[in-house]
A and B are shown apart, each in its own frame.
Chain A
Amino acid sequence: MTTAIQPGTGTPAEDPQILKISKEGENAGKASWAVKIGLSVLCFLWLMPVLGLLINSFRTRDAQFSSGWWSIIKNPFDSTVWTLNNYTQVLGDNASGTNMGKAFINSFIVTVPATVIPILIAAFAAYAFTFMEWRGRDIMFIIIVALLVVPNQVALVPLLKLYGTLGMNNTFAAVWLAHIGFGMPLAVYILRNYMAGLPKAVIESAKIDGASHFTTFWKLIIPMSTPALASFAIFQFLWVWNDLLVALIFLGRGDNTILTVALQGLQGQTGQGRELIPAAGFVTIIVPILVFLSLQRFFIRGMTSGAVKG
């Protein structure tokens, strides 16, 4: 990694190591046995609930309700308790009425545009906030900073009514637009903070060479800002994929329902389909976990740049 961000400022810093999740500090390797054991136990406890879900998702209905998930320790190779059936069931039409396969696709349909579209809009705005002088600029940015902490709930009542009159409730467009609007302050904030840390000399020399703002933006700023674009993208992806409230209100439980809403609906099952809950849970969390693990460093970069989302 060549550039890094200081906690809280969002500007590229000289110390390239600050972002590494495991930079070797002065204390590295000094852990006593008590510390090692304590941390191991903590890590085990931390993962244990996920492990329980994962184990149960592969157990038959009978096995799930006749013993706890931990009982597999006794005879892990008893093939009568293991099954893939829960997954094949939950990903298609089944007795519970919740089709997670469909919801999975819907989640992608909601998340991808809601992640990609705001980036471009925010990048242009961030450029204007960083490299252009205009009246009202600073006050406008202060408003954006203030809006970072405002909960989305403030917008939901009027939007629900507005969508109602426009006939937009339960459409994907309603959710896309809502997430674009709600994500915009964070997007502009992250990108502007990053751009403000780019070397001014590069932009000045582009200006002297006669490049317009439009060209400078496309040819210089966008390529230089990729790390910040990536951190916003991963933030927004996780946020939209994991969102329940916005999807519940604007998309509901019909044909267009997404994973979180479907999983929530399944929780109420007491009879048929109850054995599908762990598999459904796993289907819901697997994509963000993979995205998160593979793009962790961009995520951490966004976090350390002081990003808050209300």
Chain B
Amino acid sequence: MALKILNALIAIIGGIGGAMIIFYILNKLVESVGGKWEDRLKPWAFAGPAILAIGVYLIYPAVVTIQYSFANETSTAYVGFKNYTDILTDSNFLQVLFNNLLWIIIVPAMCVILGLGVATLADRLKPRGEKLSKTIIFLPMAISMVGAATIWRAIYEYQPVGTPQTGLLNAMREWFGRDPVFWYGVEKLHFNSILLMIIFIWTQVGYSMVLLSAAIKAVPEDTVEAGRIDGAGEKRIFFSIILPQVWGTVLTVFITVLIGVMKIFDIVYVTTNGGFNTDVIGRRFYNELFTNGNAGYASAIVVLLMIAIIPVLVYQVRHFRAEEANR
């Protein structure tokens, strides 16, 4: 243990010190060149290490992943489109895609709606009450998905009939004289998936609330006042005056939660491990890579995920460009 801590200390000191020395040396080297080339090379001395990290850990592996997706389990021979045709004709995988689609349809929208609701209502409290309630709603953001899944056992847990129920939902059923239910096994109408989504939404509403709250507070008061003078009710003011002005933030929140949902892994892995028809792309990917040791399949799944993320990516870049233009 002491050795480990020592190791970590060396990593911190070595990492930071090493980085400092590298930048110092790079800078000196570039300065020694002098003249025109100094100006040309200096940006690369400054930005080079970061670009290298991104290249090695994101861009290069992404390209290799595409390559692997056309190869066999051990990535030793090309198999053409076999992985893709296998996946897309596998009814199991189509079900996985459908589950992911459910997450995508339900979760981001719910996060926005709940966040917007809490932000609007908490705005009317006195500052102390507002701060307290917001901190409480915001708190689960700090909790890992594994932690959240553990916490929600207090609500969802199931014990066999005849033994005391330790999960709140099943205890409530018992108070009404009903038999306990193994919630994670209820596949009807994807009820179990929805229970998992609730855990995820619980961790994300705070994020949505904080962003939307800041946006709502930034809405110029005179626009609201003008609406009031024209005789608009609270509802009308919210939907016709406030909402259009915070729409940009609504989109930002939606996109951020959407990305989180598209690659969702932890919650499903910890609670059901993909059983009872709750599987999603992220967990299936892990399963193919690790349990089945099929790098070809796993890569093909990731490539599909990449393709699905392209519209989000395009939006993100456009949004950034528009913001830069306003700067």
Contact = CB atoms under 8 A, between A and B. Distances in A.
Nearest to B143: A285
Main secondary structure of the interface of A (DSSP, over half): helix
Given A29-B124, A267-B150, A284-B147, A308 B166 contact: no
Given A129-B47, A284-B146, A308-B256, A56 B282 contact: no
Given A23-B217, A38-B121, A245 B286 contact: yes
A102 B167 CA distance: 30
B126 A29 contact: yes
Contacts, number: 385
Contact of B143 (A142, A173, A242, A296): A242
B312 A149 contact: yes
A157 B136 contact: no
Contacts of A43: 132-133, 136-137
A291 B143 CA distance: 11
A31 interface: yes
A285 B142 contact: yes
Given A49-B151, A52-B151, A122 B12 contact: no
Contacts of A280: 150
Interface string A60-76: 00001111111000000
Contacts of B43: 128, 132-134, 137
Contacts of B140: 46, 50
Contact of B249 (A8, A19, A65, A244): A8
Contact of B8 (A31, A108, A157): A108
B30 to A, nearest CB: 10
A277 interface: yes
Contacts of A180: 53, 57
Interface stretch (A81-89, A110-118, A203-211, A225-233): A110-118
Contacts of B202: 46, 49
Interface string B204-224: 000100110111111001001
- From B27, B150, B299, name the one whose CB has the most chain A CB atoms within 10 angstroms: B150
A176 interface: yes
Interface in B213-264: 213-218, 221, 224, 248-249, 252, 255-256, 259, 262-263
A155 B290 CA distance: 15
B40 A214 contact: no
B131 A21 contact: yes
Interface in A107-143: 108-109, 112-113, 116-118, 120-122, 124-125, 127-129, 132-134, 137, 140, 142-143
The number of chain B residues touching the other chain, given as a range, is 35 or more
A263 B150 contact: yes
A106 interface: yes
Given A117-B19, A122-B50, A244-B144, A176 B11 contact: yes
B128 to A, nearest CB: 7
B147 A11 contact: no
Contacts of B44: 128, 134
B306 A27 contact: no
A158 B53 contact: no
A22 B285 CA distance: 42
Say what secondary structure dominates the interface of chain B. Answer: helix
A52 B168 contact: yes
A172 B306 contact: no
A271 B123 CA distance: 48
Interface of A: 6-9, 11, 15, 17-19, 21-32, 35-36, 38-40, 42-43, 46-53, 56, 64-70, 102, 105-106, 108-109, 112-113, 116-118, 120-122, 124-125, 127-129, 132-134, 137, 140, 142-162, 172-173, 176-178, 180-182, 184-185, 187-188, 196, 212-214, 217, 238, 241-245, 248-249, 256, 260, 263-264, 267, 277-278, 280-281, 284-285, 288-289, 291-293, 296, 300, 303-304, 306, 308, 310
10 contacts: A19-B214, A42-B137, A64-B166, A69-B154, A149-B313, A157-B65, A185-B54, A212-B31, A293-B142, A308-B252
Interface of B: 1, 4-5, 7-8, 11-12, 15-16, 19-20, 23-24, 27, 31, 40, 42-44, 46-47, 49-51, 53-54, 56-62, 64-65, 68, 75, 118, 121-147, 149-155, 159, 163-168, 171, 202, 207, 210-211, 213-218, 221, 224, 248-249, 252, 255-256, 259, 262-263, 265-266, 269-270, 282, 285-286, 289-290, 295, 298-299, 302, 305-306, 309, 312-313, 316-317, 320-321, 323, 326-327
